[in-house]
Structures are given as C-alpha cells and as structure tokens.
Amino acid sequence: MKKLSALLVVLALVFAVSSNYAQPQLKINLNGSYNLPMPDLKGDILDSAKTASGDNYGLKMGYGFGADGKYYLGKKRNVGITLALGYQMFSTSEDTITYLPGGKNVKMKLNAFNFGVGVEYAFMPK
C-alpha cells in the first residue's frame, strides 16, 4: 500500500511540474478496444446459410488496437497534423451440425485496418 501511495504522489508531482510548460510538439497515444459488430456483420450462421446472398457474416465480437499521433507546428503549436492507424479483428466459431445436414464447425474471421489523417487547429484566446 505504501508503494502505491508513493507512486501516486510521484505521478501527481510529475503532472504538476509538467503543466507549467508549453504544449509538447509530438504526442503519441496507444489504444485498445472491444468491438461489437453492426447489423451488416452480426447474426447467426444459420441466417447466413439460409440466404443466397449471405446478408451477414455471423460475427459475434471482436478486438482492436491502434495508435494515433499528433505533430504540432509553429511557435505557438496551435496547428497540428494528426495521424491514426488501427487494426480490428472480428471472429466467431459455431458448430453447424444442429442447423445443416452434414454440418461442421465453422470459423469465420474478418480483419480490417483503418487509417486516418487530419489537421487540427487549437483556438488560443489572448
């Protein structure tokens, strides 16, 4: 418990000291996510097998991770360039022997990259 208290005091001091300085020129953030599919992806394996067009992929859940960064320009650092990159993984596994004759264990996966770029302007009143 003492170690945790000491760590919190050190973190508070770091934040207090760093808040007196200007905005950093480069920021990098890492993130993770738990994803739930939208209606076009979710459903049951049976629903996908019955329809000729395969309206959905029968996915149940997914995970993702990514990073985004900002690089600020100029002396005031109020204009920044943003860049984001992410990776999402959806998957499902279901035994179709109860649904279809001669069924088997079906595994479905969907992996997707997302990429974003932009410009940010921070209003700095006098």
Residue 62 lies in a domain: yes
Q: Domain tally for the chain? A: 1
What's the domain range around 84?
Answer: 23-121
Phi-psi group of 43: left, alpha or beta (phi > 0 → left; psi -120 to 50 → alpha; rest → beta): left
Give residue-wise pLDDT tens across range 80-118: 999 999 999 988 777 666 555 666 777 778 899 999 999
Residue 126 lies in a domain: no
Residue 6 lies in a domain: no
pTM of this prediction exceeds 0.75: no
Residue 46 lies in a domain: yes
Residue 10 lies in a domain: no
In 3-state terms, what secondary structure has residue 52? coil
Give the strand order in the sheet containing 26-35: 26-35, 61-73, 79-95, 105-121
Residue 17 lies in a domain: no
Assess whether pLDDT exceeds 50 at residue 11: yes
Residue 4 lies in a domain: no
